[in-house]
């Protein structure tokens, strides 16, 4: 019996040690990943017209969550439906084929909201996230549903890096550190995010902070910080930094990058002042009734595209991370139905695929074959949407 008691004690100690080891690994790097404290942010953000009563505000009243009884419903939904956002099969990737010189108007999608824009011979990288998880922890939080199509180190030199806001699926510490090593471009960000970047070692001369309607000229492009309807925060404190959409204006072409936003009538004003746009990148995923004010659904993305005077629409903020309760393929399926009804031209590249926006290829349905985890057998592709197309070799 003493032997059994000693064995039990050793086993319990080992389990405790193993648990503590896991906790230590899960918390590794946590303080840095959380970003700047409110104390460090306050002197930077208090002058913004969007900042009052200790936080940033949307121009429209915008509840981040519905009342408590709906939050209870969200807990049940999380328990019952969290698997719905998983793909039913492997997501096809394309090895990016990027020209030595940037094109007139092209976009390469790397998944979620990360994309490389080519505008009038310049390159702009938007919301780059190459990390494995969108979380401050390396072990906890939503993980990638597909690998990155190419390492961040393989990117050609870019002229600017745009960030829409400081949520982990749009501002990723490991990616920032990689870009700090491999690129020399400035980070152009909404007010407050510069404090995160400076704390992570980005030099002052590579940080440009703008408020809504502020603009910076970089490499012959005008980068304008425009309104969005969202929120910010990397831990418990919310709305400590500003969120935004972006307009990229070149001598000949204009692009709108939505980042992450709910629908707002402000899009019509942006279109009137700064549009029309040859390309809009609109978020279409992670929608739910409980947060309808801060995430557009696919139909609202089409509406926003029209408000902006957009010509070609490319969906973002879907496919790469499971952040909501809808089926994996549902956002793009709903988007195309809404776009068809309004005669909107849509491009839907695979992760890693480059699209020449001035000569877009026929739309090819690749998502139906992937399907969603709870669909059962994947549905047959929509033959009416599929056409001949040359695609770079997949990994």
Asked if residue 364 has pLDDT above 90, the reply is yes
Average pLDDT of the residues in 145-163: 98
Helix (H) or strand (E) holding 186: none
Asked if residue 85 has pLDDT above 80, the reply is yes
Rounded to 5 degrees, φ, ψ at 161 are -120, 120
Domains of the chain (ranges; CATH) run: 105-375 (3.60.15.10)
- Residue scoring higher pLDDT (370 or 383): 370
Helix (H) or strand (E) holding 174: helix 173-182
| pLDDT given for residue 140 in this prediction | 83
| Cβ atoms within 10 Å, residue 353 | 25
| pLDDT given for residue 290 in this prediction | 87
Average pLDDT of the residues in 223-235: 97
Asked if residue 372 has pLDDT above 70, the reply is yes
Tell me the C-alpha distance between 383 and 265, whole Å.
36
Q: pLDDT tens across 353-362, in order? A: 999 999 999 9
| pLDDT given for residue 332 in this prediction | 98
Bridge-partner residues for 118, per DSSP? 106, 123
Nearest to 253 by CA among 229, 274, 282: 274
Of 126-140, 270-284, 341-355, which gets the smallest average pLDDT?
126-140
| pLDDT given for residue 330 in this prediction | 97
Share of the chain above pLDDT 70, in %: 83
Say how many CA atoms lie within 13 Å of 382 toward its Cβ.
14
Asked if residue 101 has pLDDT above 70, the reply is yes
Is 348 within 8 Å of 194 (Cβ atoms)? Answer: no
User: In Å, what is the CA distance from 390 to each residue of 5, 94, 286, 319, 382?
Assistant: 68, 11, 30, 22, 19
pLDDT grade for 79, boundaries at 50, 70 and 90: low
| pLDDT given for residue 76 in this prediction | 56
| Cβ atoms within 10 Å, residue 322 | 21
Asked if residue 12 has pLDDT above 80, the reply is no
Asked if residue 185 has pLDDT above 80, the reply is yes
| pLDDT given for residue 242 in this prediction | 98
Rounded to 5 degrees, φ, ψ at 219 are 55, 35
Asked if residue 200 has pLDDT above 50, the reply is yes
Asked if residue 379 has pLDDT above 50, the reply is no
Asked if residue 234 has pLDDT above 50, the reply is yes
Share of the chain above pLDDT 90, in %: 77
| pLDDT given for residue 302 in this prediction | 98
| pLDDT given for residue 27 in this prediction | 44
| pLDDT given for residue 243 in this prediction | 98
| pLDDT given for residue 25 in this prediction | 46
pLDDT grade for 75, boundaries at 50, 70 and 90: low
| Cβ atoms within 10 Å, residue 59 | 14
| pLDDT given for residue 78 in this prediction | 58
Tell me the C-alpha distance between 371 and 142, whole Å.
19
- Residue scoring higher pLDDT (379 or 152): 152
Question: Which residues, 6 or more positions from 65, have their beta carbon under 8 angstroms from its beta carbon?
Answer: 71, 74, 290, 291
Tell me the C-alpha distance between 351 and 269, whole Å.
31
Q: pLDDT tens across 307-316, in order? A: 999 999 999 9
Average pLDDT of the residues in 196-205: 97
* Average pLDDT over all residues of the chain: 87
DSSP one-letter code for 246: E
Is 284 within 8 Å of 301 (Cβ atoms)? Answer: yes
Of 75-84, 220-229, 249-258, 260-269, which gets the smallest average pLDDT?
75-84
- Residue scoring higher pLDDT (136 or 389): 136
Asked if residue 159 has pLDDT above 60, the reply is yes
Query: Which 3-state string (H, E, C) describes 188-232?
Result: EEECCHHHHHHHCCCCHHHEEEECCCCEEEECCEEEEEECCCCCC
Cis peptide before 303 (omega within 30 of 0): no
């Amino acid at each position: 019996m003493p032997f059994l008691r000693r064995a039990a004690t050793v086993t319990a100690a080992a389990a405790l040690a193993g648990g503590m080891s896991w906790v230590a690994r899960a918390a590794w790097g946590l303080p840095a990943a959380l970003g700047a404290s409110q104390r460090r942010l306050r002197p930077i953000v208090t002058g913004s017209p969007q900042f009052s009563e200790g936080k940033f505000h949307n121009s429209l009243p915008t509840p981040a969550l519905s009342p408590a009884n709906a939050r209870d419903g969200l807990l049940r939904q999380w328990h019952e439906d969290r698997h719905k956002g998983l793909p039913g099969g492997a997501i096809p990737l394309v090895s990016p084929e990027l020209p030595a010189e940037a094109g007139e108007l092209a976009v390469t999608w790397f998944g979620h909201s990360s994309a490389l824009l080519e505008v009038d011979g310049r390159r702009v990288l938007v919301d780059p996230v190459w990390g494995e998880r969108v979380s401050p922890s390396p072990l906890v939080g939503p993980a990638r549903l597909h690998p990155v199509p190419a390492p961040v180190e393989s990117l050609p030199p870019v002229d600017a890096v745009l960030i829409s806001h400081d949520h982990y699926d749009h501002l990723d510490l490991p990616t920032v550190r990689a870009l700090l090593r491999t690129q020399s471009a400035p980070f152009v960000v909404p007010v407050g995010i510069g404090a995160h970047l400076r704390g992570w070692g980005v030099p002052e001369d590579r940080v440009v902070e703008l408020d809504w309607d502020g603009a910076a000229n970089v490499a012959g492009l005008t980068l304008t910080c425009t309104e969005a309807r969202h929120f910010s925060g990397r831990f418990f404190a919310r709305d400590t930094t500003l969120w935004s959409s972006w307009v990229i204006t070149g001598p000949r072409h204009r692009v709108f990058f939505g980042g992450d936003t709910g629908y707002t009538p402000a899009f019509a004003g942006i279109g009137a002042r700064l549009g029309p746009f040859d390309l809009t990148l609109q978020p279409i995923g992670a929608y739910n009734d409980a947060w309808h004010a801060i995430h557009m659904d696919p139909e609202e993305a089409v509406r926003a595209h029209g408000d902006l005077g957009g010509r070609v629409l490319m969906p973002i903020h879907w496919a790469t991370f499971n952040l909501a309760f809808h089926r994996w393929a549902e956002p793009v399926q709903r988007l195309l139905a809404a776009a068809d009804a309004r005669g909107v031209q849509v491009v839907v590249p695979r992760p890693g695929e480059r699209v020449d926006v001035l000569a877009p290829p026929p739309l090819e349905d690749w998502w139906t074959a992937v399907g969603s985890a709870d669909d059962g057998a994947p549905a047959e592709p929509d033959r009416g949407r599929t056409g001949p197309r040359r695609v770079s070799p997949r990994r």
